[in-house]
Amino acid sequence: MIVAMSGGVDSSVVAALLKQAGADIIGVFLNVWDYSRDDVCGHGSCCSTEDSYDARRVADMLNIPFYNMDMREAFRQDVIEPFIQDYTNGRTPNPCERCNRFIKFGALLKVADELEATYIATGHYVQRQDDADGIHILRGEDENKDQTYFLATLNQTQAHRVVFPVGHLCKDETRKLAESFQLPTAQKAESQDICFIPNGDRVGFLRQQKELAGLKEGNIVDGKGSILGHHKGIAYYTLGQRKGLGLSGGPWQVIGLDKDKAEVLIAPARKASVIRLKVNESHWLRQPKSDQVGIKTRYRSAISPCTITQKEDYIDVVFSQAQAPTAPGQVAAFYDGQELLGGGIIQQVYHQESS
């Protein structure tokens, strides 16, 4: 079994628990970005050079084989380039979801095959239950750490080969286990930022990548096309944004980003709520029993009821009650109670203003 070791406390405890249980495990760290040119050590990003050292220290302590796998080319192709393209096109990407789908549970499964490993174990706060009906992916026991949202686009083949040894724990219990195992990562702070943008400056990153299409100046307009202000580029904005608009007569929220016209479309906050979505790139871990399911459109949002209609190439979602704004490029995760059914990527958003 491969343990995806990020150098954090969660995956370190996973390795220690499996080693204690007598499992034959191999630690693998995924090197996804050239951190030597960005000086990001200590900035709280995941998968940095410092994290690689920590993962190796834990592997050495547990006396397990350890590999540092070069995933930089795959990461650029499947995560970085789509991230840049999304911001250029006025979308709000979710790079962590793409990293899970294409790198951690995509490319890493190929590594598992090469190493003749059947399963991958990760530190995600997700629970897996197997029964006669197959596998069930359930929300983590710790509601504040549940990470099913980021796994909503996994396919069934990937899900069958992943186990989550800390999904039944709360975060403080994981740290206590790390202390009992005397792991050097026991008190390590959690990563907070996008790993390749540790300072949170996405516009600076786009400039560094020489992607300037999303930085073309333009107008801020309302639903009638009236010009209310000017902007420095649509990449500075995300759908649902309230702060930093610099406009009077609000409160306003961003409800649209038009790359062709270089326009930021805004509406009064009371009309910016979302009533409907189109979702594509979808996968079902378990087919829904009816058209009434739960949905999350943000990691920290609550599960809300909705009605789904499965079309030929997308899922039509109608909310039972209007929701806080979300954006194309974000994940829509579908649930039946505590069970993750699957999910996809939001393709189009319908607001009250545009209804």
37-91 pLDDT per residue, tens: 444 444 445 656 788 999 999 999 999 999 999 999 999 999 999 999 998 888 8
Mean of pLDDT over the chain: 90
Q: Is 79 inside any structural domain?
A: yes
230 falls within a domain: yes
pLDDT confidence of 18, banded at 50, 70, 90? very high
Low-confidence winner among 105-109, 183-187, 213-217, 253-257 (lowest mean pLDDT):
213-217
> Are residues 176 and 266 both part of a single domain?
no
- Are 219 and 298 within one domain? no
Dihedral over alpha carbons 217, 223, 227, 230 (to 10 degrees): -30
Q: Output the domain CATH number for residue 51.
A: 3.40.50.620
- With beta carbons less than 8 A apart as the criterion, state whether 90 and 110 touch: no
User: What pTM does this model have?
Assistant: 0.90
- Structure-block tokens of residue 11: 């995956």
Within a domain: 196: no
For residue 333, is it within any domain? yes
pLDDT the model gives residue 66: 96
Tell me, rounded to whole angstroms, the distance of Cα 59 from its chain centroid.
26
Among 46, 96, 99, 306, the one annotated catalytic: 99
- The encoded tokens of residue 4 equal 């995806």
Per the domain annotation, does 193 fall within a domain?
no
Same-domain pairing of 172 and 238: no
- The pLDDT score that the predictor gives to residue 43 is 43
Q: Could you say which of 46, 47, 195, 306 is catalytic? A: 195
Residues 6 or more apart whose CB falls under 8 angstroms from that of 201 comprise none
> End of a domain among 230, 250, 271?
271
Q: Among 230, 245, 271, where does a domain finish?
A: 271
Do 318 and 221 lie in a common domain? Answer: no
Same domain, 13 and 113: yes
Residues 170 and 70 in one domain: yes
Amino acid at 73: E
Same domain, 175 and 55: yes
For residues 42 and 51, give the distance between their C-alpha atoms in angstroms, rounded to a whole number: 9
Residues 289 and 256 in one domain: no
**Spatial contact of 264 and 231, defined as CB atoms under 8 Å apart:** yes
99 assigned to active site = yes
Is residue 310 classed as helix, strand or coil in its secondary structure?
Answer: strand
Torsion of CA 267, 299, 194, 107, to 10 degrees: -120
Task: Express each pLDDT in 159-218 by its tens digit.
Answer: 999 999 999 999 999 999 999 999 999 998 887 667 888 777 888 888 888 777 788 899
Q: Are residues 29 and 115 in the same domain?
A: yes
Environment class of residue 149 by beta-carbon count within 10 Å: exposed (0-12), middle (13-18) or buried (19+)? buried
Q: 258 and 226 in one domain?
A: yes
Domain boundary among 256, 271, 286: 271
Report residue 77: phi and psi, to 5°. Answer: -70, -45
Query: Domain for residue 208, yes or no?
Result: no
Number of domains in the chain: 3
CATH code assigned at 240 = 2.30.30.280
Which parts of 44-193 fold into alpha helices (H)?
A: 49-62, 72-75, 81-88, 95-98, 108-114, 156-160, 171-180
Is the same domain home to 221 and 246?
A: yes
Map tokens 């991230």 to a residue.
Answer: 83
Name the band, by pLDDT with cuts 50, 70 and 90, for residue 223: confident
Whether 249 and 220 share a structural domain: yes
The pLDDT value recorded for residue 246 is: 86
Q: Which domain holds residue 317?
A: 274-354
All residues at 6 or more sequence positions from 15 whose CB lies less than 8 Å from its CB, including other chains: 3, 5, 25, 27, 58, 59, 62, 64, 121
Distance CA 33, CA 107 (A): 15
* Mean pLDDT score, 297-305: 93
Has residue 198 been placed in a domain? no
Q: Catalytic residue at 306?
A: no
Look up the CATH number of the domain holding residue 288. 2.40.30.10
